[in-house]
A and B are shown apart, each in its own frame.
Chain A
Amino acid sequence: MHQRSIVRVAAPLLIASLALSACGSRGGTDTGTSTGNKTAIIGVMAPLSGNLSALGLGIQHSVELAVQQANANKAVPGWTLKVEAKDDEQKPDVGKNAATAFAAEANVAGVVGNLNSSVTQSTQSVLATANIVQVSPANTGPSLTKGANFSTAPVRPYKTFFRTCTTDTVQGKFAADYLYNTAGFKKVATINDKKTYGQGLVKEFTKFFTGLGGTVVGAETINPDESNFQAVISKVKPTAPQAVYYGGEYPAAGPLSQQMKASGLNVPLMGGDGIFDPKYVALAGATANGDLATSVGAPADQSAVGKKFLADYAKAGYKEPSAAYGTFSYDAANAIINALKVSLKDAKDVASVRQATLDALGNVSFDGLTGKVGFDKYGDSTSRVLTSYKVANLKWAQIKTVTVP
């Protein structure tokens, strides 16, 4: 008898509660915050774990800083901006999942990312289908904005994709010009790491360097997962180059420079923004002096805005430094915020004004950390400020900053 009474009590209770939960409305629909503002999300896709996490976290925090400042200044009246970061693990599959998740969220106004071109190739189409703007702070491959035949017949493949960094074309040309005209080297060997960035950079460099009249005496590749490059160095050395132009990133470039000098190939190594990192000098060791690099934008610690960014970043207390792509990410986030100022002004929700956001982003123009931020008809950055650097006293020192036409 005892147990039956329990059942009698429990069963109606359970049924009642299930019914209540089915019809009752439970939270979860709050789009606004306590201030009555509506929320718009700026997404970040970058490798937040794994061996590139330092760069990815720098991107995330720089965007967070930009958004935090925008909220403080009430840049978009009536709206609160929020950052939502998703890890892409440097993998196209995972990146695609992250992009799809953003596409499914009604509040996502724009996305900053990715770091790796191979991942961007997978995320571009997903965000384009949802008509969400995507601004990459780091992808330099020309085909992302100009399609398969970027030099002969450029066609923009995805109208929602923009970038704040320059393409390999701009940087390769700048480096070729520096080596041929300023440094006066006529014979150069190239080495690349056969990754999208490195190979693209060397290709563009070679085109302009030979165009100027220089000779590329050797074109080699290395596997950046290895760390012994003797065989390649021995092959390059007899061709007696006056400099080696390297396309790739600092983890391989540093040891390459060190091993070059140790093998008696005492010529400067030059690279792009991928090697412009303090760790390059640490890895290349005592013989790094004289090595060269180009990078996009004016050095952050030279301009007033750059100094302010670094100070604000330090004040915000992020655990990881802003790293190589911090300034581009900050500009990318601000480009989206500037577009939202226009598109969200009288908007009821984020999803319905995506086209307006896209149109507004195409027309933004403001002074960012990397120069004047704006986009051409392909979505490429119109900022063409480049700086060359040289290692002196085991530190990167600025040579000159120029604006390329």
Chain B
Amino acid sequence: MDIFVQQLVNGLTLGSLYALIAVGYTVVYGILQLINFAHGEVFMIGAFGALTTSLVLFRGQTSLWILPFMIIGAVIASVVTAVLMERFAYRPLRNAPRLAPLITAIGISVFLQEIVRLNYDHVPFTSWNPFDLPDAKSLIPFPQIDVVTGPAFQVGGVTIQRAAIFTIGALLMCSAVLWYFINRTKMGRGMQAVSQDPDTARLMGINVDRVIVVAFMLGAILAGIAGVAQGLQNNNIDFRMGFLAGLKAFTAAVLGGIGNVAGAVVGGLVLGIVEAMATQYIPGQFGGSPWKDVWAFVMLILVLVFRPEGLLGAKAVDRA
């Protein structure tokens, strides 16, 4: 029983991370019907933003009060990336055939990974490294923060990581704020209107361009926070962390019903739990950690075949 609860906790932690990233996919998709493949990289850049803040401003100190600054640094880095991406890569393609933005997204994704890998520790085309940043070609240890990281709590036979509490807490708080924003503010209602019918929304006086930018920003904020959470949890970050996390998060978004914000959260949690349980409980040769990703993708395909609108129902499935 302890093991079951333990894996549930592991799954929830992992799932919270997926959920935080998945929201970014789903918000953008809901409005633009665009798979922002490069969203995983926004998450990665968020983590690097937090690392940079900690190294440059605080020289890697570990006091708790630094954490808010790291989160702000992460959010700024991801939001800037996402907004630039929207402005210079996606906006010019808004009326292009569907394939164009998707391929652009793959291009951006590769480009961002490479730029971090090659140029994190120096100004491009020079070897100038004013803040003595580490080389990003391999894993970089992430600063550990007092209270938030450190020895785990033992509750009965179950171990709960401190960083896991941070991640799950971040998801709860973000979900609440997001719910308020979408349902109770003017901008949020504008977003809903645009996702239902962009042309009518425009006629009603909603600035669609602005709504789209806000959608990208929302996703980026959550991805930035997720980047910090992942760094704290796993103790390290690297330039490739966005690819797999982004893929899983997208799977989570589709699982929950793409375009549906609550669906993204549920989908993320379900996916995390499935992975943890598959590691523990699928017996025999096709079980365990090596096959868990296979089962996650198989589940995605099954859900798409039997319930294409996702667990909670998607928005605008048919418009693809």
Contact = CB atoms under 8 A, between A and B. Distances in A.
B289 A51 contact: no
Interface in A270-323: 279, 282-283, 285
Contacts of A285: 141, 144, 235
Contacts, number: 99
A180 B151 CA distance: 29
B13 A283 contact: no
Contact of B13 (A194, A230, A232, A262): A230
A223 B151 contact: no
A282 B141 contact: yes
B235 A231 contact: no
Interface string A35-70: 000000000000000010110000000000000000
B234 A228 contact: yes
A282 B235 CA distance: 10
A116 to B, nearest CB: 16
A223 B280 CA distance: 15
A320 to B, nearest CB: 10
A232 B141 CA distance: 21
B262 to A, nearest CB: 24
A296 B257 CA distance: 53
B95 interface: no
A98 interface: no
B104 interface: no
Nearest to A226: B244
Interface residues of A, number: 31
Contacts of B161: 230, 262-263
A227 B289 contact: no
B137 interface: yes
A258 B161 CA distance: 12
Given A227-B241, A231-B7, A231-B279, A264 B288 contact: no
Interface in B142-177: 144, 149-152, 154, 159, 161
A392 B236 CA distance: 22
A238 interface: yes
A54 B137 contact: yes
A54 B137 CA distance: 9
A283 B236 CA distance: 7
Contacts of A254: 139, 236
A258 B138 contact: no
Contacts of A132: none
Contact of B152 (A231, A263, A279): A263
Nearest to A282: B141
A225 B240 contact: yes
Given A230-B161, A235-B280, A264-B152, A194 B290 contact: yes
B117 interface: yes
Interface in B265-286: 275-276, 279-280
Does more than half of chain B's interface fall in helix, strand or loop, or is it mixed? helix
Contact of A262 (B151, B288, B292): B151
A222 interface: yes
A51 B137 contact: yes
A115 to B, nearest CB: 14
Contacts of A227: 139, 230, 234, 236-238, 241
A234 interface: yes
Given A231-B289, A232-B289, A54 B235 contact: no
Contact of B154 (A226, A230, A258, A264): A264
B119 interface: no
A141 interface: no
Nearest to A230: B10
A259 interface: yes
B3 interface: yes
A101 B193 CA distance: 61
A231 to B, nearest CB: 4
Given A262-B152, A264-B159, A234 B6 contact: yes
B284 to A, nearest CB: 14
B276 A231 contact: yes
Contacts of A223: 289-290, 293
Nearest to A266: B151
A228 B233 contact: yes
B76 interface: no
Given A221-B288, A262-B152, A255 B159 contact: no
A251 interface: yes
A238 B244 contact: no
Nearest to B277: A231
A220 interface: yes
B14 interface: yes
23 contacts: A51-B117, A54-B137, A54-B138, A220-B289, A221-B289, A223-B293, A225-B240, A226-B244, A227-B238, A230-B14, A231-B10, A231-B11, A231-B275, A231-B279, A232-B279, A238-B3, A251-B139, A255-B236, A262-B152, A263-B152, A264-B151, A283-B236, A285-B235
Given A231-B280, A254-B236, A264-B152, 18 more contacts: A51-B137, A51-B138, A221-B290, A225-B240, A227-B237, A228-B14, A228-B17, A230-B13, A231-B10, A231-B275, A231-B292, A234-B3, A254-B139, A255-B236, A262-B150, A264-B154, A283-B236, A285-B141
Q: 4 closest pairs, A vs B, by CB?
A: A227-B234, A231-B279, A230-B10, A231-B276
